[in-house]
Structure 1
Amino acid sequence: MAKQQTATQIVIEMMDESYLRDFLKVEQHLKCIGKNLGVGWRGLSLLNQIAKNDRITLDVLAKQNHITKGAISTQIKTLLQFGLIEVEVSPDDRRQHFIHLTLKGKQVIKELDVHEKKTVASILEEMSLTEITQLSEYFEHFVAVLDQSIED
């Protein structure tokens, strides 16, 4: 029992320190990218998803991002106000709306792509592809465990 308590305390301390040192730093980096491009990080993420699927709908975006249609709609309105996307009503079903990037939105995606390539080049100078793959797999497993603990 004492070993379990010790392991629990060690993990709690590591998570606290890791959040402050690592996760928070990653979050700050992502926010900085968005700020430099004139859009928040969530907005950039949505723009990226729209760029990859030119006929994406609000429903699909909500499902992909695991949030409500209302939350996606709020973010879409912001992107519309910035002139980064446009919404097209389906000729077959007026309730369905397709979201597309505008020229300005495509330019932001190009700038993001340039930034991503520079960042990845810097990462690959310090870490091998194997290390990055392992990190991704560990993080994916860690998140799955967190998700399961929330459901319990």
Structure 2
Amino acid sequence: MTAVVKLIEARNGVVFKVSELCKVGGKIPVYADEGFAAGVHARELGGYNMLWKGEKLPVHVAGAKAVTKKASSYATASVSVLPPDAVPLCPDLCGPQPLAVSSAEIRASGRPRFMSFSLTPNPVSMLNAKPTVWLEADIEILD
């Protein structure tokens, strides 16, 4: 899997900066199931740090693929940045709120050797980030 990750920064509802953070790649697990294991057991790819307010924050990129008996494939990927001082939005139920998180899950008919898709930003993390930032990523999975 290869991921090209970009940080998008906005001010007053207008995007003012797009920065390519990293291009990471590595091997991800491929499961033989209906796709459920892929989402739960995604493997994190090699680490990259981004500089944010003078701190190095780890950029977490993970993914997995599943091939079903019914000749379809399923892929999942995510990218997130979690500051060390992150607090939960709902202390009793939630984990720490990432600065930014994006993810996607796709299904394809057949057993494609190559899968390509983009990740969708989590709207809750976008709305709660101060300043408004989000991550975008283009994912490629090649068997």
Is TM-score (shorter-chain normalized) higher than 0.5? no
> RCO higher in 1 or 2 (8 Å CA, sep ≥ 6)?
2
In proportion to residue count, which structure has more helix? 1
Normalization by structure 2: what TM-score? 0.24
